[in-house]
Structure 1
Amino acid sequence: MINDIKKQAQEKMDKAIQVLKKDLLTLRAGRANPAVLDKVTVEYYGTEMPVNQLANLSTPDPRTLMIQPWDKSALGAIEKAILKSDLGLTPNNDGNVIRITIPPLTQERRNELVKLARKMGEDAKVAIRNVRRDANDDIKKVEKNGEISEDEARRGQDEIQKLTDKSIKEVDQVVAAKEKEIMEI
């Protein structure tokens, strides 16, 4: 019974960390990364679609993103969507592909991005703590129903706490790595 609760908690904590990693990819560091455009949606034939479903995204060099749409008629819509997004990027349309030159970040912008990364990390920690609370509540319910002893319940809660500590430590490592990447000149 406790193992099931523990396994479920572990899966949810891992999922919180995966969401954090995915969210951190969308933060623009000093180098070009196609994941920056993941949240940009383009109006295409009356439907909102992500850029990566309309075009091939590549990075020919560390400071340039290249967007090559499969349908040339989507060039204008993609360009408009990038300009509308809050990424602060300026697309250059040559009629075949869109090139985006990633400007070097100012120190002020780097600090803002670090704060944002820390906030995302804190949100992930809150999610992990919520998973811990739910798992501990489940253990208490099982104990109250008389399915496990008080000692087993305490042991289960200790194991859940160890999982929580491990997951929070991993979140800190992921955020620290992203901070280092952002502050890299």
Structure 2
Amino acid sequence: MADMIIEQTKNKMEKVITALENELVKIRTGRANPNMLSHIVVDYYGTMTPITQMANIIVPEARQLVIKPYDRSIIAAIVGAINKSDLGISPMAEGDLIRLNIPALTEERRKILVKEMWKEVEGFKVAVRNERRDANDTIKKDGTGTEDDKKYYEGEIQKLTDKYIKLIDEKAIAKEKELMEV
């Protein structure tokens, strides 16, 4: 039973890491990345649809994205969704495509982004710790093992927690380095 709890906890912590990676990709670094648009949705005939599902997104230059919608009639809606988003980039509609020029980040803006990123990262660390707490509670409530077994499994869960907290820190440090790079 306890092995199953540890495996479930590991899977949940993996999901936290995946969610962290998805959040870190959204943080703008001054370089073009199609994943910057992954969280933007457009009202497409009454259905909120991610831009990534309705257009080809290419990176022709290091600081430029080109969005080529599969349906030309949706260009205005995509431009509107990008303008409403938190990207802070003004799209330019050019015929059947949309061009996004990503401005260089100032030193001050980079520091603000790093500070905001670390706040986000702390939330993911809390999520990992919550998984540890839930697993430990489940093991304590499980009446089948001895006290020594429970202590052993709590130690294993702590090792998992330490591993995933370290992984979160490594990913955040790499993103910080990427953000501060000029």
SS at match of 1:124: helix
Aligned match of 1:166? 163
For residues 67-101 of structure 1, the C-alpha deviation after alignment (integer angstroms, 9 at most, x for no partner) is 00011111111111111112110111111211101
- Is 1:152 the equivalent of 2:149? yes
1:1-20 to 2 correspondences below 5 Å: 1-20=1-20
CA distance in 2, matches of 1:32, 1:58: 9
SS at match of 2:169: helix
CA distance in 2, matches of 1:140, 1:71: 56
1:53-68 to 2 correspondences below 5 Å: 53-68=53-68
Aligned match of 1:97? 97
1:1-185 to 2 correspondences below 5 Å: 1-142=1-142, 145=143, 147-185=144-182
Identity %: 50
CA distance in 1, matches of 2:46, 2:149: 57
Shift of 1:104: 0.2
Shift of 1:109: 1.3
Whichever residue aligns with residue 88 of structure 1, its letter is G
What root-mean-square deviation, in Å, do the aligned CA atoms of Structure 1 and Structure 2 show?
0.9
CA contact (8 A) 1:30 1:181 kept: no
Give the stretch that moved more between structures: 58-67 or 44-53: 44-53
* Number of positions where the alignment pairs a residue of Structure 1 with one of Structure 2: 182
TM-score normalized by structure 1? Answer: 0.95
SS at match of 2:86: coil
Shift of 1:106: 1.1
- Gap regions ≥5 residues in structure 1: none
Deviation above 4 Å: which 4+ runs of structure 1? none
CA contact (8 A) 1:2 1:156 kept: yes
Shift of 1:42: 1.2
Give the stretch that moved more between structures: 112-121 or 163-172: 112-121
For residues 4-51 of structure 1, the C-alpha deviation after alignment (integer angstroms, 9 at most, x for no partner) is 111111111111011000111111112101111111111222222111
